[in-house]
Amino acid sequence: MVNKLKTLFCTRHFLFLIGLIAVLLGCAQFKKQAGFEQGTLVVYLNSKTTPTSLNFTLEEIWIEDALGTKTVLPIQQKEINTSLPSQIILARGELKTGVYTKICFKITRAILLKRGEIYPLRLLNQGVVSIPITLRIFPHKTNNLFLNWAPETSIKAETFSPDIKVQKGKTGLKKLLLYVSNSGEDYLSVIDRGSHQVIDAITVGSAPKGMTLSKDGNYLYVANYLSNSISIIETMTNRLMDTIALNIGFGPNELTIPPFSRILYVTATDSNAVIAIDTLTKSILKKIEVGQRPIGIASSADGQYVYVANTFSNNISVIETYNNKVVNTIGVGGEPKYISIYQRYIVVSNSQSNNLMFIDSHSLKVVSTAFVPSQPGRIIPGLRGWVYVAGQRSNDISFVTPMLNIAPRKLSVGKHPSGMTLDKDRKLLYVANLRDNTVSVLDLIKEEEIDKIEVGDKPYDLVLVGD
């Protein structure tokens, strides 16, 4: 009797599970048939500097398709005024795939500040503004909508009628570009360095981190940390050309291509390894075992060696590129994360011991140590013999040399500075601020921040393209 009850119970339990699976599959099929696939939309507002002090408040932003179906977008910036940066993110949200024909704003208040006086402005159509658009949302991609606002022509007879139009076309391709990997999302922001405005988005894998260019500048390689792959972007068109799946290592993080080589080296942080990839055949050549939790990676100037910072091993692995073998190990400070080449030195930032070590590339001995408080991060060679170091807790960039054991100069940036890149010709330093989703633009002659650009979630690395 007991066995019969057990059999009956198991049978009913099995049938219940089968039924549940069928229902779930049916729901999934229904969603697929109903076109429930989604893409991300980011709405940017561009404006020019004007002496007019004009403010308005947004209550709601929504987008409509040809049938008039309304989808509300989460607002990122409700208070709009002429003192804001020349480009801001207005809204960001998920939309069903398809074509959209209108974007609408609900404005609750508009005022003009003139000679210290506040002048309320009338609103037309109960504050609702409709702008015709032609926008196609593609599945699983980040789509941008750029709007241009002209404050000077937005006031007519004490009435606020915002002059907002859709920006036509893209600018800046293959000229002066800056690529930003947004590690909290799945896309790169593309910035025109002439205007310091975002002009495009490129969908890649999940959690893009380190990036590097091919030697001819035609291709950008992106390490996708969570999707365990390398994206290949054609810089002439900003198109995703190919994806290399990493099936023998996990957690791709930082990248380097040595001079005179076509081999891409990738730190596989979660596998304690470096992956060597042939960029011509797009095939994996070798998995090279290194220390624990490798992150930073750099190539020697002659291309003979690759250096890897092993964060949890407190050392540097030296890989000979001729045979892709570890030929030496250098002990350093506590939790080395990032590494760079400066003149004849290998430079490593030790995030736990709060210092920068300069290692002679011939003797492989530490010859100088500079104290950099507040968790030093990324390092790049700078102008006039300086090395720039990102202070991830102090939110600044330190200027260091191997001759000094302290950082005599610092420039403030955003929260948790991460990737950096230098425009030598224009004397500008770009810094990705991981925790406030911006890129700081530093004028190295004036030694001050001259602009701040809004990008995606958790910007991690930066790469310059163009003259």
pLDDT value for 317: 99
Angle at 18 between CA 14 and CA 22, to 5 degrees: 170
- Determine whether 307 is exposed, middle or buried from the number of CB atoms within 10 Å of its CB (0-12, 13-18, 19+): buried
Write down the domain spans for the chain.
38-166, 177-465
pLDDT value for 174: 54
pLDDT value for 170: 61
Considering only the top CATH level, what class is 177-465? mainly beta
- Closest C-alpha to 270, from 250, 246, 299: 250
Alpha-carbon 400 to chain mean position: 26
Q: Is the dihedral of CA 225, 226, 230, 231 positive or negative?
A: negative
What would the two tokens of residue 101 be? Answer: 């024909």
Angle at 328 between CA 325 and CA 333, to 5 degrees: 130
Q: How far apart are CA 318 and CA 308, in angstroms?
A: 7
Assigned CATH topology for domain 38-166: Immunoglobulin-like (2.60.40)
pLDDT < 50: residue spans in the chain: 1-35, 172
Q: How far apart are CA 218 and CA 209, in angstroms?
A: 19
Cβ(173)–Cβ(201) below 8 Å: no
What would the two tokens of residue 254 be? Answer: 């930082």
pTM: 0.89
Angle at 236 between CA 233 and CA 241, to 5 degrees: 30
Name the residue with tokens 């500040």: 113
Cβ(63)–Cβ(93) below 8 Å: no
DSSP one-letter string for 8-20: HHHHHHHHHHHHH
